[in-house]
Structure formats: C-alpha cells, structure tokens
Structure 1
Amino acid sequence: MILDLFGTLVAAPSIVERRAAADQLAAILRVSPAVAESELADSWQARHNGQLASTAEVAAHLVTRCNASAVCVNELEMLLARLAHLRLQADSTLLQALEQLRRGGARLAVLSDASSDIAEAWSLSDLAPHFDAVVFSCRAGAVKPDRQLFQAVLREVGVAPCQALYCGDGGGDELAGAERAGMRAVRVERRGGPSSLVFGETAWSGRAIPDLEALPSLLDDWGKR
C-alpha cells in the first residue's frame, strides 16, 4: 500500500500557514513577507526535484535570491528544519489506522513530492516507524506524476504494480499517475480541507474515501467480496 504524505497522512498547508512561514523567513532574511513568499513559491520545483539537495542548500538559495547576508544561512536552515518537524505531526487517529493496516499484514510505503527539509526530518517523525519504505521526490530527482517515482516506490516495497494500492488526495495528478503505472488508486478527501494548498490536481471519478482512517474498513469490505 503506497500512501501520499501531504493532504493524506498529514494536513496540506493552508494559505494562512504558508504566509506565517513566509513571515518567519522574511524576518531572518530582512525582506518583506511578500518577497519571501514569492521566492519560496518560485523555488518549489528546485526544492522538490532535488536540484536543491539539502536544507542547507535551500537556505543558501533563498539567501542569495533575497540578497540577504550569508550569516543568515544557518538561522534560516534551523527555521526550515523546525517548520518541517511541525508539518510532519500526525493525528493519533491516523497513527492508529496505520497500525491497524500493519496488523492486517499490509506493507506500507510513502511516496511524496517533498523538499529536503522534509526528507531530513522524516526519521524523527511519529510516522516513520509505521512504514516499510519511503520515496521522496527530492531524493528520486523527479516530481509526480513522473513514472519513475511510482516505479521507485514499487521497487522499495518489493511488490508488482498489480499488487499495489495507491492512496492520495490527488495533487500532482498522482492518482492517474499511479494507474498509468499499473496500480489501483483511491482518493481521500484532502486532509486540511479543500482550501489547503495543492499543485497539479486533476479530476478524479474513481473510488474515494473521506480520510485515511477509513482505509482499513475499505480493505475489509474488499476482502469480503
């Protein structure tokens, strides 16, 4: 079972949260929040496809783009790490659902468009122990729906495409991408609500569930047929 991260396991960020993060970045960089937010948005691709391969590189990039002092890099890197840790906080009900899936014999993997700060924070999160494999776009060098991401996570978890179920909120055309890679796909309503930020969402007419906590029941229903 292959699960998306943001909007599926943890809440996708809201516009308010994105702006609050930009305010903190701006305070360190000594630029306006609008400039910090713009540079953060403009660096999305480079942060998520691995061009900026570490949190330190992301911090240095933002410092350069904002014409800030190089002495800001370490402080900015620490802020990015703290924000990443906060973004990986998971609901207790979600953790219980993951444990239930594992007790039922499911092998679990994460496939996420994620930047290096998230990848570096992952091992210390409450989510990490529940998964057999994880593939982050910043480590794989591509973003969804690139087929190589789906192939990479299938290799990591050790199953054929026809044996895998992909579950996500639909950002990055991930559901259709999973189906093109030979998997079944299920959509979950976006964790964090419909106003949360999402990139590359496409229409979906297939199976859908209200949240990941409903997944064990869905699998039980399938098993009874």
Structure 2
Amino acid sequence: MRYPLTFTPLSASMPAIATHPVGDVLLGTSLQRSSPAPASRPIAVVLDLFGTLVAAPSAAERRAAAAQFAAVLRVSPTVAESVLSDSWQARHDGHLASTTEVAAYLVTRCDVSAACVDELEMLLARIAHLRLQADATLLQALEQLQRRGVRLAVLSDASPDIAEAWSGGDLAPYFDAAVFSCREGAVKPAPQLFRAVLRELGAAPHQVLYCGDGGGDELAGAERVGIRAVRVERRGGSTGLAFGETPWSGSSIPDVEALPSLLDSWGKR
C-alpha cells in the first residue's frame, strides 16, 4: 500500500508530449536533439510502480482501505487513516523490514492488543496482492519490450508488504530487477535508489530510460544521476494520490503502453 503524506492532482495544463534537453525523446515523431550527436537508444527501462504500472490509489480507495484496517484493529476509520498516513515514512524507508513488523508497528501506533497483529498482517498481504494486479494492455506492452531485448526494472517507494508480494504478482515475470525503497533504506529521489537499480541492471546511466508519473520527484532524481527520464500520465487518473510530486517540463508519453512505439521511433527522422 502507498499512503502518501501529501498529494497533488495531475496538472491539467501539462502537455501530452514535450521535449527536454536531457530526456530527449518524443513519441511517434522525429527525435529532438539538443546536440549534434543523437542520443543512443536505451537498452533498459526503469519503471515506477504506483501511478505508472498500476493505478495510484484514489482518495476513495484510501478511505476504503483505512476502513478495513479499522475493522481489524477495532478503532475508528479516522484513527486508522491518520496512523496509516503518519506511518508512511517508516513503512517505506527501511525502518520496518517485513510485513510482520509493519503490522506490529501499526498495532502499537493504534494502541490496541497485540492479538491483532496476525490478522492485520494477512490484510496487508491481501491488499498488496490486489494492488499489484496489472491491466492486460500493460502486460502486452511489457512483453513487446521483452521481445525487443529491452531489460526492465521496477523502482518503487514501497512498503515491505508490497516488496514481499511482488514475486507472486502479475508484473514480476516481465522484470529483470526490482528495487524497493523499504529494502534500500531510502525513498525517492535519493540517488542511492537509482544507483542500486543501475547495478541490478548492469547498465550505465546513459543506457537507461526512466519512466514514471512524477511522484517523489523521481524524474528529476533520475536525471541527477545521468538517467534520461520521461513522464507518463498518472495511471488511475488525475485523482490518484502521489507523494512529493514536483513540476516537470520534460518529455511525456500517455502511458507505459506507448513505450514500445517510443523506442521503435528512437533516433528516426
């Protein structure tokens, strides 16, 4: 689950396609270049998870999840939502190493009986599994990228329940690497996260394209370590929640499904 401390809606004024001197990509048109030498086609793509591969949760979905937590913990939904929101950093930055530890932490924060831990752990695991279900169109796009020999990695601000559910989800078979904030001890845009995914891929920054909806200042974070970045419209719509979003004037594509066409057109005039 991803329960942000703050969120911002997707800007309605953001252009669908834009050029950027670092990202240097366009979908379905000529590659725009800021220097005489064309940018090399990426050999790997790193993708954000929530809002990019799967839908970012809406406020209504967040309230519904909090109600489930409240029922297990026998507290009011208001208390459950407050505790979930306030615990975002601890659940995502590595302070809690497992779903069991997350459940115990939430139980303590709600000041309820430790007998609730097992039931809450099962709820966390069940919700995480549901959160990782992916659209068929997206899986088809990932398969196309695989067939083209593109290496894929996911880089996500994620809690242990998500990290533990990943290998059994729809997406895992398509990815060569998965880097989660809870296992790296930092959240986006920490440079160590981007360097960790580069190591997992065995690739240099200039060989990689980062793709995300912009939460956590991830796009600028990728560029600061030399990775080209492209923004996608937030999956789940403009009401989806995002933590730490910052303005982006660089390249954009409609969704991950557009990536195969983008890479096919890379460098063509």
Q: Check whether TM > 0.5.
A: yes
Structure 1's consecutive aligned runs of 4 or more residues displaced over 6 angstroms after TM superposition are: none
1:149 paired with 2:164, answer: no
The DSSP-based 3-state class of the residue aligned with 1:108 is strand
Q: Does 1:90 align with 2:122?
A: no
Offset, 1:224: 2.7
Does residue 78 of the first structure (1) align with residue 115 of the second (2)? no
Match of 1:106 in 2: 150
Report Cα offsets for 1:148-203 as digits up to 9, x if no partner.
00000000001000100000000000000000010100000000011111000001
Name the structure 2 match of 1:25: 69
Aligned residue number for residue 58 of structure 1: 102
Partner AA of 2:192 in structure 1: Q
Task: Give the alignment of 1:130-145 within 5 angstroms.
Answer: 130-145=174-189
Structure 2 matches for 1:1-225, cutoff 5 A?
A: 1-225=45-269
> What 5-or-longer segments of structure 1 have no aligned partner?
none
| TM-score, structure 2 normalization | 0.83
Larger Rg: 2
**Could you tell me how far apart the structure 2 residues matched to 1:162 and 1:111 are?**
17
Q: Normalising by the residue count of structure 1, what TM-score does the alignment of the two structures yield? A: 0.99
Q: CA–CA distance in 2 between the matches of 1:67 and 1:159?
A: 46
Higher RCO, 1 or 2 (CA under 8 Å, sep at least 6)? 2
Deviation, structure 1 residue 67: 1.1
In structure 1, distance between residues paired with 2:268 and 2:174? 25
Give a deviation string over 1:103-135, Cα, whole Å, max 9, x none. Answer: 111000000000000000000001000000010
Residue segments in structure 2 that go unaligned for 5+ positions in a row: 1-44
Q: d(CA) in 1 for partners of 2:92 and 2:177?
A: 19
Determine what percentage of the aligned residue pairs are the same residue: 79
Shift of 1:221: 1.2
Shift of 1:223: 4.3
CA distance in 2, matches of 1:14, 1:82: 18
Q: Can you list the C-alpha shifts for 1:1-59, whole angstroms capped at 9, x where unaligned?
A: 10000000000111111111100000111110000000000000000001011111111
The letter of the residue matching 1:103 is R
How well do the aligned residues superpose, as a CA RMSD in angstroms?
0.7
More helix by share: 1
3-state SS, counterpart of residue 191 of structure 1? coil
Q: Which amino acid aligns with 2:160?
A: S
- 2:41 maps to none
Take 2:248 and 2:111, find their aligned partners in 1: how far apart are those partners? 42
Matches of 2:257 and 2:72, distance apart in 1 = 39
Aligned equivalents of 1:46 and 1:65: distance in 2?
12
Distance in 2 between residues matched to 1:115 and 1:50, nearest whole Å: 8
